[in-house]
Amino acid sequence: MSFAFPEKANQMAYSLFSEPRSGRLQKDKLPKTLAKATSKIFQYEDQEFITYLWKGNENVILLVHGWESNASRWKKLLPYLQKSGSTIIALDAPGHGLSSGKEFHIPKYAAFIDIIVQEYKPKFLIGHSLGGKTCLYYQAHYNNPSIEKMVILGSPSDFKIILNNYVNLLNLNSSIAKSLEIQYSKVFQKELDEFTGKHFASKIKTKGLIAHDTDDTVVLFDEGKKIANAWKDAVFIETSGLGHAMHDDQLYEKIASFLFEIKK
């Protein structure tokens, strides 16, 4: 197809890469965790996106999930955050959960985040995987002073690594690979070599905690180290045996200690 119909082949390759295949939710079959929250619909351009709120005090935490996931992924972390009495907000990314749209990319996700930040003024951001990279992108580009601390879990740094893995997986030829780079450079309005978590982190003055697992086979451990090495005011936690999901009681206790300055 790339030889006979190059434009169609390029668009198909882009769509396959940018449209999540899982992570959707049904309104009448919400996970119990989300069903207990207060949901609200927000508008961004021609899209609707959904937030879930667990009401607490004036201290607000925003949770940002990753690729092919949704707000319910925070089920195990919630109790540790709720002990502080905080108000907690989670959202569904573009094309995920109950949010509309098919295409996912980080600048659009960051625009969703900014609408919520303007509405609720969260002090803390917590992001997992591509949600973590979106948090880095957000604070690097929006530089919001209301954000005091950020937690980044299992997040990738270099976009080119993800893109090259996709190209190799489908055995795409060099022409399509190049067209994907050009298209994403236009979407990001930035050269791909600069669209990295480490580049964003180097611009952030907010305090941070980065955690990455040595057994993560989705986003390699070295990606987390790249971000940590570039972020001046961040601490790095190395875990083992948690994989990419990073669900762990001890880690969650460390996150709570970092956010709320709990001393033991």
Compute the distance between CA of residue 144 and CA of residue 15 in angstroms, rounded to an integer: 32
The pLDDT, as a whole number, for residue 3 is 66
Give the CA dihedral 184, 96, 124, 207, nearest 10 degrees: -30
Backbone angles phi, psi at 217, to 5 degrees: -95, -5
Give the CA dihedral 252, 258, 262, 264, nearest 10 degrees: 70
For every one of its 264 residues, what pLDDT tens digit does the chain have, with 9 covering 90 and above?
666 677 787 888 888 889 999 999 999 999 999 999 999 999 999 999 999 999 999 999 999 999 999 999 999 999 999 999 999 999 999 999 999 999 999 999 999 999 999 999 999 999 999 999 999 999 999 999 999 999 999 999 999 999 999 888 888 888 889 999 999 999 999 999 999 999 999 999 999 999 999 999 999 999 999 999 999 999 999 999 999 999 999 999 999 999 998 765
The pLDDT, as a whole number, for residue 239 is 98
| Closest by Cα among 122, 131, 28, 21 to 73 | 131
Compute the distance between CA of residue 56 and CA of residue 170 in angstroms, rounded to an integer: 47
Compute the distance between CA of residue 197 and CA of residue 223 in angstroms, rounded to an integer: 8
Q: Which domains does the chain have, with CATH numbers?
A: 6-260 (3.40.50.1820)
The pLDDT, as a whole number, for residue 2 is 65
CA distances from 51 to 1, 7, 48 (A): 40, 36, 10
The pLDDT, as a whole number, for residue 264 is 54
Q: What is the DSSP string of 192-225?
A: GGG-BHHHHHTT--SEEEEEEETT-SSS-HHHHH
The pLDDT, as a whole number, for residue 16 is 85
Residue 170 makes CB contacts below 8 A (sequence gap 6+) with 13, 16
The pLDDT, as a whole number, for residue 202 is 97
Contact between residue 54 and residue 37 where contact means Cβ atoms under 8 Å apart: yes
User: What count of Cα atoms within 13 Å lies in the side-chain half-sphere of residue 95?
Assistant: 17
Which amino acid, residue 183? Q
What angle (nearest 5°) sits at the alpha carbon of residue 152, between those of residues 151 and 158? 155
